[in-house]
């Protein structure tokens, strides 16, 4: 039986971690280095650091914040936001990232996925899919859930894997921040149509939501933000609950 990873998601608008609803109405919840350190101490399996305005503002990645956050955590650290080319990937890896997350520029230039995977290995390349549901299908969005692409999310997930992505982060724009549950159907469709690990994100409001997206959405990992940021549950409590439900976790 596989162990499901519990991932702490930090949506960063430097110098703060922020949280909103549907990526809007953002409020500050702490600093990336402070929260990453806190969740590491609680036993989180991985940390995702996403500069959620780098692509939107078309500015450079702020590497000093990445380095500061990476310094005191010793679990896999995935960083994304504004990754435009393999030089950005190399510099993020040099700044302490173990994996690099890409969305906007990967959709605009799919060859970036292939080039990064060939140079650094598929295990370093995570493709982020932000999707919104329309009549029976999900459309990919870029620039922090703001820009429509016309791309089918499930088809893009398959294409991204074929290009060399080693993992896929799936965030539902519809459920993000609403805390009423993940888009289980979207997660399941992508899980069923790819062979790489799928990380479910967007919508955890209680522990049952996490259980549902693992059991019914076939998620390999769950990305948690609000439940951790507002101290409703610790990483340990989430893992203990999953273990009590017969779901494999690293305690």
* Parallel, antiparallel or unpaired: strands 77-80 and 46-51: parallel
Q: For residues 55 and 103, give the distance between their C-alpha atoms in angstroms, rounded to a whole number.
A: 9
What is the predicted pLDDT for the residue at 59? 79
Asked whether residue 23 carries a pLDDT value surpassing 80, the answer given is no
* Parallel, antiparallel or unpaired: strands 137-142 and 125-134: antiparallel
Condensed to tens digits (0 to 9), the pLDDT of residues 132-181 reads 999 999 999 998 778 999 999 999 999 999 999 999 999 999 988 788 99
Asked whether 207 and 166 are in contact (CB, 8 A), the reply is no
Condensed to tens digits (0 to 9), the pLDDT of residues 195-228 reads 999 999 999 999 999 999 999 999 999 999 999 9
What is the predicted pLDDT for the residue at 160? 98
CATH superfamily assigned to domain 5-244? Aldolase class I (3.20.20.70)
Give residue 204's Cα distance to chain centre: 13
Q: If pLDDT is split at 50, 70 and 90, which confidence band does 25 have? A: low
Average pLDDT over residues 63-76: 96
What is the predicted pLDDT for the residue at 213? 98
Q: How many helices (H) and strands (E) does the chain have?
A: 11, 12
Asked whether residue 3 carries a pLDDT value surpassing 70, the answer given is yes
Asked whether 181 and 201 are in contact (CB, 8 A), the reply is no
Q: What whole-number percentage of the chain has pLDDT above 90? A: 84
Q: If pLDDT is split at 50, 70 and 90, which confidence band does 242 have? A: very high
Q: Among residues 225, 171, 224, 170, which one has the least CA distance to residue 196?
A: 170
Q: Is 246 exposed, middle or buried (0-12, 13-18, 19+ CB in 10 A)?
A: exposed
Bridge partners (DSSP) of residue 12 are: 17, 51
What is the predicted pLDDT for the residue at 21? 63
Reply yes or no: is the peptide bond before residue 15 cis, omega within 30 of 0.
yes
Task: List the domain boundaries for the chain.
Answer: 5-244
Which is more confidently placed, 101 or 1? 101
What is the predicted pLDDT for the residue at 60? 84
pTM of structure: 0.95
Backbone angles phi, psi at 113, to 5 degrees: -60, -50
Q: Among residues 36, 24, 171, which one has the least CA distance to residue 103?
A: 171
Q: For residues 49 and 128, give the distance between their C-alpha atoms in angstroms, rounded to a whole number.
A: 12
Asked whether residue 24 carries a pLDDT value surpassing 80, the answer given is no
Asked whether residue 57 carries a pLDDT value surpassing 70, the answer given is no
In 3-state terms, what secondary structure has residue 84?
coil
Q: For residues 73 and 63, give the distance between their C-alpha atoms in angstroms, rounded to a whole number.
A: 16
């Amino acid at each position: 039986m596989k162990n499901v990873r519990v991932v702490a998601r930090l949506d960063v608008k430097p110098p703060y971690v922020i949280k909103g609803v549907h990526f809007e109405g953002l409020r500050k919840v702490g600093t990336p280095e402070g929260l990453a350190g806190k969740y590491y101490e609680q036993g989180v399996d991985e940390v995702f650091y996403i500069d959620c305005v780098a692509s939107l503002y078309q500015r450079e990645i702020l590497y000093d914040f990445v380095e500061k956050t990476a310094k005191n955590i010793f679990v896999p650290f995935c960083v994304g936001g504004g990754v435009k080319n393999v030089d950005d990937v190399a510099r993020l890896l040099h700044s302490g990232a173990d994996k690099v997350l890409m969305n906007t520029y990967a959709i605009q230039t799919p060859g970036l996925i292939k080039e990064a995977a060939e140079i650094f290995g598929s295990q370093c390349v995570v493709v982020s899919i932000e999707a919104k549901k329309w009549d029976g299908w999900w459309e990919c969005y870029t620039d922090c859930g703001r820009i429509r692409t016309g791309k089918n999310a499930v088809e893009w997930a398959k294409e991204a894997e074929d290009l060399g992505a080693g993992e896929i982060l799936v965030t539902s724009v519809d459920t993000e921040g609403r805390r009423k549950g993940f888009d289980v159907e979207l997660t399941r469709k992508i899980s069923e149509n790819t062979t790489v690990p799928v990380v479910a994100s967007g919508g955890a409001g209680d522990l049952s939501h996490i259980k549902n997206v693992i059991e019914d959405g076939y998620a390999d990992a769950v990305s948690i933000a609000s439940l951790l940021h507002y101290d409703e549950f610790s990483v340990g409590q989430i893992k203990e609950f999953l273990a009590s439900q017969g779901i494999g976790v690293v305690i």
